[in-house]
Amino acid sequence: MTNTANLGQTLLETVQSLPPPQQEAVLHFARSLSLPKPDRPAQIQTLLLDLEKIQTHHGEPTIAVYIDSLLTTIRDMRDRTPYSPYTEVVIALHDAIAVRNAWVNYSAEQYRGAHDILKSLSHQTEISNESAEEAILSLDSLGFDTLPLRMLPNLGQLDNTANQD
């Protein structure tokens, strides 16, 4: 019992020594481990419903509520099932709409296309990595920037861009 108590105390001290943002990340992760596993079909249904509502409320201030719900559900999926091919696809959509608040730049038709892609993918009993890649490419072809945080290929380009400023 003392070994367990010492481990708990050591863990607590280690977390307390971290900067506040890292403490929050560790606590978020610990909470996600203790929560019951989500109902995957219910999460997918929430995503699809949010995408429908986003189309309906496009151009209105209320769209932000559905964008927030969509992003929250995607982040929950990322935290709970990070290696799922379906999660990989929704993370690509997340990045396309969340980085620099790009969600305001997409049309209702683009959101409809994303809905259709995610819906057809959800009907597959087993989602392969190839199917996930095709779905991400389909999001790209709709105009979603699924790689908004591209890395420069080499350091030489970094020097060239710095000199252009």
For residue range 43-56, what is the model confidence (pLDDT) as tens digits? 999 999 999 999 99
Q: Which pTM value belongs to this model?
A: 0.70
In this predicted structure, the answer to whether residue 164 has a pLDDT above a threshold of 60 is no
In this predicted structure, the answer to whether residue 130 has a pLDDT above a threshold of 50 is yes
Task: Identify the DSSP state of 142.
Answer: T
Predicted confidence at residue 69, as pLDDT, reads 95
How far apart (Å, rounded) are the C-alpha atoms in residues 148 and 97? 9
Confidence tier at 92 by pLDDT (50, 70, 90): very high
How far apart (Å, rounded) are the C-alpha atoms in residues 12 and 26? 11
157-165: average pLDDT: 51
Give me Rg for the CA atoms of the chain. Answer: 20
Confidence tier at 60 by pLDDT (50, 70, 90): very high
Q: Which residue has the higher pLDDT, 155 or 93?
A: 93
Confidence tier at 14 by pLDDT (50, 70, 90): confident
Please write the tens of the pLDDT for every residue from 19-34. Answer: 888 877 777 676 666 6
Among residues 140, 101, 123, 134, the alpha carbon closest in space to that of 48 is found at: 123
In this predicted structure, the answer to whether residue 151 has a pLDDT above a threshold of 80 is no
Helices 40-56, 63-80: crossing angle, 10 deg rounding: 160
Strand segments, DSSP code E, in 54-101 are: none
90-110: average pLDDT: 96
Phi and psi torsions of 9, nearest 5°: -65, -45
